[in-house]
Amino acid sequence: NSTPYLGGVLLVIVLAWLAAAKSLDTQFTALRREEELEKEMERA
């Protein structure tokens, strides 16, 4: 029966997905912060 293997594969995929989402969130937040700083510089 291959059920435990499928469960393990699914778990790995989900963990990789969460790690990628967290990484992208970090990058996106930093990029957005830079854009906001640039807008403030233009206003000043």
Q: How far is Cα 20 from Cα 22, in angstroms, rounded to an integer?
A: 5
Specify the pLDDT at position 30. Answer: 95
Residue 24: is its pLDDT beyond 90? yes
- pLDDT one-digit tens code per residue, 1-22: 889 999 999 999 999 999 999 9
Quote the pLDDT of residue 27. Answer: 95
Residue type, 31: L
**For the chain, what percent of residues have pLDDT higher than 70?**
100
Ramachandran category for residue 12: left, alpha or beta (phi over 0 → left; psi -120 to 50 → alpha) = alpha
What is the model's pLDDT at position 44?
Answer: 79
Left, alpha or beta for 24 (phi > 0: left; psi -120 to 50: alpha)? alpha
Residue 6 has what pLDDT? 96
Distance CA 39, CA 22 (A): 26
Domain count, the chain: 1
Q: Which domain holds residue 29?
A: 1-44
